[in-house]
Amino acid sequence: MRIAYYSAAFTGCGHTVRGIAIRNALRRAAVDCEFVIVGTLGMAGLAESQGIAVVQLEPESFDSLSAERFRGSATYQTLSRIAADILIVDLAWFTTHRMVAELPGTSLLLLRQASADFFSYCHNGTATELDPSAYDLVLKIEPCSLPCETVGIDPIIMRQPHELLTRARAAAALGLDPDRPAALIATNGKPGEFEELKQTYSYLDDDYQLFCSSNHHGGVFPIVDYFSAFDFVVCSGGHNAFWEAVYFGKETVFVPSRVGLKTRRGALKTARTASSAPTEPMSRCGCLGGEGHSGGQNVTVSNGLITRMPRYSWCEFKSSERICVHPT
């Protein structure tokens, strides 16, 4: 069996990491398959370092993917040649919705929190909206509100708890003292964000051993393997970073990219349960004067998806555009 994971991303490594996580889950489930990642991918070398075959494509215009011309596109030609038994499309409905009906195998579309305008586009005066019926199955990979019917699954993450290094081993590998508090500053988003995070949160050095990592600068990958070494995390507000921090119960400050702030803030709001009684702001990360809420939910985990989401509280800061999550 051949399984292809397709994405059309332009910044960061989130989609590439999700493809790796899916491959990991298939391995845990002992699924005998040939797995390939294909598309316009950020940091595709991360997948290759994990022994995954990668087919990198160049971005294509809406003209080349139009109803009249998509069969001549590199995307269609490549996916036709791969001829996957299962094609997993990560968000990129706008490049694949016309062609999946003509591709062999079963098509799955993964959706998550996104702004309303993500689900339609206008080109040459013609409006096109997502038609979920184009795909055999549409999966919602986090708690959120979407404009179409989906089948909800648990968020997809890289590791299960037993796969993480122990605190002693993780600290030793990173040159940290396991008996002292340690903080992680990490992001793989837009160029320059990593340097900004390091500068903004350098004051943590007063209370923590600081370890900084970015895959833009040859950082440790996957950093989640070393989470046991850290007591506090500062990272971007991307999908993978958010759910890993929540799942592994890390006290965390998220600093989303400005372009994605509304989306990730919405995802975090949706993820909490109805029990949103205000909580006392946490002074440990400077959350004084923020809005406090509590939440959490129990979900089942299977083969690399979240097993159980711990209880947590979150603080939203409109002035500093920061979101903090604290295990409770």
Model pLDDT, residue 237:
79
Model pLDDT, residue 285:
41
Q: Look at residue 294 and tell me whether its pLDDT is greater than 60.
A: no
Structure-block tokens of residue 81? 């040649």
Model pLDDT, residue 93:
97
Q: How many CB atoms lie within 10 A of CB 19?
A: 30
The mean pLDDT value for 80-105 works out to 97
Do residue 37 and residue 174 come from a single domain? no
Q: Look at residue 291 and tell me whether its pLDDT is greater than 50.
A: no
The beta strand positions in the chain, using DSSP E, are 2-8, 34-40, 53-56, 86-90, 106-111, 120-123, 126-129, 137-140, 151-152, 182-186, 209-213, 232-235, 251-254, 291-295, 312-317, 322-327
Do residue 66 and residue 195 come from a single domain? no
User: Looking at 100, 135, 152, which one is the last position of a domain?
Assistant: 152
Model pLDDT, residue 302:
35
Do residue 208 and residue 308 come from a single domain? yes
Do residue 94 and residue 235 come from a single domain? no
Question: pLDDT tens across 12-47, in order?
Answer: 788 999 999 999 999 999 999 999 999 998 889 999
Do residue 53 and residue 99 come from a single domain? yes
Q: Among 251, 239, 255, 252, which Cα is nearest to 200's?
A: 255
Judge whether 201 and 217 are in contact, CB under 8 Å.
Answer: no
Do residue 200 and residue 87 come from a single domain? no
> How much is the mean pLDDT over the chain?
82
Question: pLDDT tens across 108-123, in order?
Answer: 999 999 989 999 999 9
Do residue 172 and residue 128 come from a single domain? no
Q: What is the CATH number of the domain that holds 283?
A: 3.40.50
Model pLDDT, residue 187:
87
For residue 260, name the pLDDT band (cuts at 50, 70, 90).
Answer: very low
Do residue 41 and residue 177 come from a single domain? no
Do residue 95 and residue 208 come from a single domain? no
Do residue 108 and residue 252 come from a single domain? no
Do residue 35 and residue 78 come from a single domain? yes
Do residue 195 and residue 298 come from a single domain? yes
User: Looking at 97, 118, 152, which one is the last position of a domain?
Assistant: 152
Q: Look at residue 229 and tell me whether its pLDDT is greater than 90.
A: yes
User: Looking at 105, 122, 152, which one is the last position of a domain?
Assistant: 152
Cβ within 8 Å of residue 144, ≥6 positions away: 112, 113, 266, 267, 270, 271
Q: How many CB atoms lie within 10 A of CB 105?
A: 18
Model pLDDT, residue 303:
38
For residue 232, name the pLDDT band (cuts at 50, 70, 90).
Answer: very high
Model pLDDT, residue 236:
82
Residue range of the domain that includes 268: 161-327
Q: What is the CATH number of the domain that holds 22?
A: 3.40.50.2000
What's the domain count of the chain?
2
